[in-house]
Copies of this chain bind each other. A is one copy, B any other.
């Protein structure tokens, strides 16, 4: 299956969802990866890949290394290997690898090409589409970065066989997100199909990628509808930040965030209690967390304002309207939010 991402300014590219085919690049190539991914899959990738000159840049595994220091180590590898403006970086790993490789490629010599080969379900369905790159810092998550589109994305679902169950669930959370906000039929399909089946997961990846691609094509720089993809993220980012990014996987935090958004939507009459429970049930089917014990509700609320989605000191919430539609609003009162937070 191939999904084309249509973007202005010659930024269009294809996403191939299939067993990896033979790739040839007549230029210097650096594969950016981490020890975990390379242990499982690097030999497989190398068996498929030919390049004029190939080197491997291995960075530590984990969200805690998603910072400027690691970016500088990737850049240093590129300079040491004398990459030029025609060279290529390949992001080979999960979302962290993808975001950082994308960012490094966007600032190396003012921007070179990169390719994504995402190896986790989360990065396959989410990070591989959209061109968002970035790193975390002490002020929050993904606050520094660029928009830089890959020239191609290769998704090989067979790589998911080695993915830990929790990480698989984190990816499913993003699939559920896409269905709840944009596609009721897809949500119902998810309720009746098991994503542990290899054929089903391939279909679900393609469906998610298509849905996201459609949104991103309309709004590459997130000036409007693309913000809806942050459903669950307004809350999720605070949860990740409060827990120092070491308790929940990104998709797990988003899952809890969706449940918080849903509770708010139910309170405001946008969603029925029954629909809220259906979403919970689907998430719990894959053992994805749906609750989080908030220590201090006021602190939690205050944290929103460090999130970049808050313009003019108003917090932007993405709330589902039933299942398959959503609204973006910054008109939610603090009292309503606080009440929902207290319920968690």
Contacts and interface: CB of A to CB of B under 8 A. Distances in A.
Contacts of A305: 82
Contact of A107 (B75, B107, B108, B110): B107
B144 A85 contact: no
B75 A144 contact: yes
Contact of A9 (B9, B137, B139, B140): B9
A147 B79 contact: no
Nearest to A104: B144
Interface string A80-111: 00101110000000000000000100111111
Contacts of A146: 106-107, 110-111, 146
Contacts of A76: 139
Contact of A109 (B133, B143, B312): B143
A212 interface: no
Contact of A86 (B140, B147, B311): B311
A134 interface: yes
Given A9-B9, A68-B72, A72-B68, A143 B79 contact: yes
A132 B145 contact: no
A162 interface: no
B145 A85 contact: no
Nearest to A11: B9
A315 to B, nearest CB: 12
A139 B79 contact: yes
A247 interface: no
Interface residues of A, number: 36
A334 interface: no
Nearest to A52: B312
Contacts of A75: 137, 144
Interface in A133-187: 133-134, 137, 139-140, 143-147
Nearest to A147: B110
Nearest to A140: B79
A310 interface: yes
Nearest to A135: B107
Interface in A220-246: none
A127 to B, nearest CB: 14
Contacts of A8: 9
Interface in A282-339: 305-306, 308, 310-313
26 contacts: A8-B9, A72-B137, A75-B144, A79-B143, A79-B306, A82-B305, A82-B306, A84-B310, A84-B311, A84-B312, A85-B308, A85-B311, A86-B311, A86-B312, A107-B107, A107-B144, A107-B145, A109-B144, A109-B145, A109-B308, A110-B133, A110-B145, A110-B147, A111-B146, A111-B147, A146-B146
Given A107-B144, A110-B145, A111-B147, 8 more contacts: A79-B139, A82-B305, A82-B306, A82-B313, A84-B310, A106-B146, A108-B143, A109-B143
Instruction: Please give me the 7 A-B residue pairs with the lowest Cβ-Cβ distance, nearest first.
Output: A79-B139, A109-B308, A110-B145, A84-B311, A9-B9, A107-B144, A110-B147
Interface of A: 8-9, 68, 72, 75-76, 79, 82, 84-86, 103, 106-111, 132-134, 137, 139-140, 143-147, 305-306, 308, 310-313
